[in-house]
Each structure stands twice: as structure tokens, then as C-alpha cells.
Structure 1
Amino acid sequence: MSEPLPAQTISVHIRRHVQAVYDFASLPANFPLWASGLGGGLQQVDGQWFADTALGRVRIRFSEANSFGVLDHYVYPAPGIEIYVPLRVIANGSGCDVVFTLFRQPGMDDAQFAADAEWVRRDLQSLKQLLESR
């Protein structure tokens, strides 16, 4: 069994119904509108998703549509390397919380982890602004 990775949970409250947020955020084609961490050029090729990121061109596997608010995805920056990205939409009052768990990857220093956390915060704020302005 491998050692657990240090993790940080980052969330944002969105004043929109949980289903509306899930319906929007669950579509991989919408990720470029708010998830800059996935980089640019998100495209589907032969049933698989790819994006151009700071790590280079990566393959991304998104969760299947579900009724639990699960938006987990997996990023594959190189053969044999899988980065798990847990992401949830959770009902909270008349709105919802979007909760992202950021795992500190092996070899990542404190500054890189802090920068990644800030990037996630910006992306979640972008999602909030986008959906609350609709």
C-alpha cells in the first residue's frame, strides 16, 4: 500500500441549483470556459479527451454522468502516470458547494502546491461567476 498524499480541500458556494451546476460542469466541452488548469485545446479524439497543459499534451478521463454530483476526472500526463482529481457538486440550501480535493503530487515543493491551490481557487471562482451570471 502506498503512502497517502497530502491533500487540501478547496470549495466555493454557488447560488444556483445543484442540478444546474452539475449539468453544466459535467460536460467536458464546458471545462475550457472555467477550468484553466486543464489548459487549452480540449478536444475529443476517438472517444478520448486531450488538452494542452503546462505539463504538455495530456489525456483526461472524465467520470460518467451520475446522480451523485461526482465530477471526478483523471489526468494522464505521461504513460504510467495517473493524477486523480476528485470534484463534487453538493447541495447546500438553495445553492450548492463545488468541492475540489487537491493532492500534492510526489516531488512537488511547498511553493508549487500553494500555486496549484491558488489556481484551483481561481478556477472555482470562474465557475461561480459564470454560473451566477446566467
Structure 2
Amino acid sequence: MHAAESKTISVSIQRSLQDVYDFMSQPASFAHWASGLGKPLGNEGTVWRFEGDNGPVKVRFTGRNAYGVLDHTVELPDGTEVHVPMRTVANGTGTEVLFTLFRVQGMSDEKFAADAQWVTRDLNALKALLEAQ
């Protein structure tokens, strides 16, 4: 199996690493900025259910940790699983949030570019939300 094409998308947030990580490590917070996830429908431990565009979506989140890791796996309504590596990294008094997008086998250039734009839009929403607080 060949490595999938990937693109790492980042945003700089003018808030401390602790503030950003404390907010983002609460899975319910994703509903406030991740446009693909609607309201939380409940959870069992680190597995959360959200309203998705095409039905309920399950998301398995990495537990809180000392490394700023926010990896999660999204299970779509059709059973497809998408692994999402995500990190928070201190940058002076601010924080970098890094999201790695993998190109799914068979995905067109247009769809991959559209997904990257979607992630960028969501990360900018996260930035606006956290910098407004």
C-alpha cells in the first residue's frame, strides 16, 4: 500500500497553548467550529456522536495528554473511517494548530482541494472564536 497524499494545514491563534488545548480537548467544543459536525448527540468515554450532514457521525478522540495531540478518527454514516492527525504547538505566546488532511483513494484533485479549503475555513473559525474570548 502506498502512502496517501497529504496536506498539513495550520492556523496561528493568539492565545496560549494551554487555553487552546483546554478548549479543543473537550470534544463538545468541535461543534462550535468544525462545520461538518453538528450538535453533540452524546458520548461513551472518548467516542462521541454528532449530527453530521448525512446522518450521525461517530468520532473517537485521543484522550487528554501532555503533548498537545488532538488526533481523532471520524466514522462516517456509511462506516468509512477517516483518521485526522491534529496538533497544538506553542509559538511564543500564541499557538499553532496543525491539521493533516489525507487524500482518500480515488479522490479527485477538485475534491481534495475543496476539502483543504473546508479545513482552512474551519480552522479560521476556531481562530476567530478563541481570539474573541
Task: Provide the TM-score with structure 1 as the length reference.
Answer: 0.91
Tell me by how many angstroms 1:42 deviates.
2.2
Is structure 2 residue 38 aligned with structure 1 residue 44?
no
Secondary structure at the counterpart of residue 35 of structure 1: coil
Relative to 1, partners in 2 of residues 1:34 and 1:102: Cα closer, same or farther, differing over 3 Å? same
**Distance in 1 (alpha carbons) for counterparts of 2:126 and 2:17:** 13
Secondary structure at the counterpart of residue 36 of structure 1: coil
Amino acid at match of 2:38: G
1:115 is matched with 114
2:96 is matched with 97
The equivalences for 1:1-134 within 5 A come to 2-37=1-36, 39-47=37-45, 48-77=47-76, 78-79=78-79, 81-134=80-133
Secondary structure at the counterpart of residue 65 of structure 1: coil
Tell me by how many angstroms 1:128 deviates.
0.5
Deviations 1:13-61 (A, max 9, x none): 0000001000001101111111113x21322244431123235322110
Secondary structure at the counterpart of residue 49 of structure 1: strand
Amino acid at match of 2:40: L
Q: Structure 2: 5+ residue runs without aligned partners?
A: none
Deviating above 6 A after TM superposition, structure 1's stretches of 4 or more consecutive aligned residues are: none
**Distance in 1 (alpha carbons) for counterparts of 2:35 and 2:122:** 6
Deviations 1:50-81 (A, max 9, x none): 123235322110010001000000011234x3
Tell me by how many angstroms 1:131 deviates.
0.6
Q: Structure 1: 5+ residue runs without aligned partners?
A: none
Amino acid at match of 1:41: K
**Distance in 2 (alpha carbons) for counterparts of 1:101 and 1:55:** 23
CA contact (8 A) 2:41 2:51 kept: no
